[in-house]
Amino acid sequence: MRKSHVALLIPVYGDQKGLEKTLSTLPSDLPLDVVVVDDGSHPPLVLPPVGEPHRAFLLRLDTNQGITRALNHGLHWVLERGYPYVARLDAGDLALPGRFGRQLRFLEENLEYGLVGGQVRFVDLEGRETHRERFPTEDWEIRRVMHARNVFMHPAVMMRTEALKKVGLYRETYPAAEDYDLFFRLMRHYKVANLPEEVLVCRINPGGISLRKRRQQLRTRLRILAENFEPGLKESWLGLAKNLALFLAPTPLVFWAKRLLKGRGGWF
């Protein structure tokens, strides 16, 4: 079987069942080379079989090093082997039929674009739908709204590897928001887009965010927004004010507000 044009990167820590579910439901419309990075799981992950026309590769880190290092470990492997495109997916999430084919066609037909995402449906741990969120699709709108919030779901994107070579990989100095930083860097050199169709079912864990993780992520977001601040853009002011308010607010209040507002425009 020949190498695919698209490497599908999946970093995993300790979620064997989620990995099995994700790989067992991969769409078959486009051949993928699936690159699973085991981020020091104990016991080590076992690579489940993937059906035709896909191939799968398992990379292991000896110790748990966190998602940024796991992602970069996988990306180095992908770049060394000359894949022109890399897509993202997380264990437990489901790629919807036609996703990868549509994203590949978009990037092949629009050479000025370095990244394409899509719409997402959110479900709880039992698979019940919690909400859907509509992300902007056009480059001009994304550039504006990104200053208020991240409008790309990380496991829903496909990127051009030449773009990653140009702007660099994920940076460890932006903990818990390494994707947000990367997307801003990509936008400095390339156009970006979201497909109007749903491409992903995202599994969310309402109790999975600790106080330390939340505050770390907000601190990093504030830094990213400050570095990309545009005084003439109202979204830049909104983004800073929103994240500062979230950083100062008690965690229970934030979680209550998120439950109340879920699916109503993605203010958080």
Q: pLDDT digits over 43-59, tens only?
A: 999 999 998 999 999 99
> Of the candidates 51, 63, 15, which has an alpha carbon nearest to the alpha carbon of residue 36?
15
Pick left, alpha or beta for residue 185 (phi over 0 → left; psi -120 to 50 → alpha; otherwise beta). alpha
Q: What does the pLDDT look like over 65-77, one tens digit per residue?
A: 999 999 999 999 9
> Of the candidates 116, 114, 121, 134, which has an alpha carbon nearest to the alpha carbon of residue 194?
116
Average pLDDT over residues 166-190: 97
The answer to which of 37-46, 83-92, 242-251 has the lowest mean pLDDT is 242-251
Q: Which helix (H) or strand (E) holds 43?
A: none
Instruction: Name the amino acid, one letter, at 5.
Output: H
Instruction: Name the amino acid, one letter, at 202.
Output: C
Residue 35, both tokens: 């690159």
Average pLDDT over residues 12-19: 96
If you average pLDDT over every residue of the chain, what do you get?
Answer: 92
| Angle at the Cα of 17 from the Cα atoms of 12 and 20, rounded to 5 degrees | 80
Q: What pLDDT does 249 receive? A: 82
User: CB of 40 within 8 A of CB of 7?
Assistant: no
Bridge partners (DSSP) listed for residue 61: 39
Q: What does the pLDDT look like over 55-65, one tens digit per residue?
A: 999 999 999 99
Q: Which helix (H) or strand (E) holds 246?
A: helix 234-248
Average pLDDT over residues 82-93: 97
In this predicted structure, the answer to whether residue 220 has a pLDDT above a threshold of 60 is: yes
* % of the chain residues with pLDDT over 90: 82
